[in-house]
Chains A and B, each alone.
Chain A
Amino acid sequence: VNLNDYRALFLVVVSGLALVAVSPIIGVVLPESGSERFSEFYILGPDHMAEGYPFNVQSGEMYNVFLGVENHMGGSKYYRVSVKFSNGTEFLPDLDNGVSSSLPPLYEYRFFVGDGGVWESAVSFGFEDVVVDGDVLSVGTVVFDGVSFPVDISAVWDSEKDGHFFVLFFELWHYDPEYDGFRFDDRFVGLWLNMNIS
């Protein structure tokens, strides 16, 4: 090992130590490397597990589930969840094109979630004024979190699956300051329901 090799070694060690000394400033100047940003949207059954979801429902009964949103967007977010009810064959969101359902919302939640934080709410729902006329079953009222919403939605008897099928679904929206309004987050969760009269 000659003197030039020692010099190179010294330069490397001194440069490394200098880099350690300026690391606080480098941390301020360089932007943080971002991980994937997304919002998690989920629905859990009455036992707070991903099972036991209501399926066979009947008029006059109340059902419970849990709805949750987890924020991984890199900052606090302002969310809105719109609750909608459909007969399951039309007006569902088009996720391929990022378009929400054209149905008017019945109920809504508005909340703020910090980065990495979770919002969760217990949800109760039921149906009233359910009538059957031939092979068509109509729902007249949806009860959501104790509030009755008049609706007039019908489903024809599905002979393949043996039932009158409806879907209660929840759309996730988030506020976009650049858009100056809410944008559909391209996510929705729903409960397929086989409706029966009591």
Chain B
Amino acid sequence: MTSRSPATVMIVDDDYDIRETLEDILGSEGYRVLGAANGVDALALLKKGERPNVILLDLMMPVMDGETFCSVWRGDPSLADIPVVILSADPRAREKARSCGATDLLPKPVQLTALLAMIEHYVG
């Protein structure tokens, strides 16, 4: 795999296995992966100055869910140009993605090829 650094993907998901898997897979694909267990952690990373090329965002999370995160993201001009892709198993993910103004959607479970194509699209 060719190194495409410093392309950074932020994973916001409360499921540890998903974060691990994505960090593993995307890491092996040459992406720098930032993991956050909820919206608050994600915002903390962004506050520290992290500027990922794309954010993969789960919806159902403790502390701060995806939708709340979205409203903060949209309200902050310094963040607004970062694409946010909803990665969720929520049956109503499509409506929620629309209503919270997300850039795109990847319903769980996700095919590896579809995942990589999506990231490629926004990082590319």
Bound pair: A and B? no
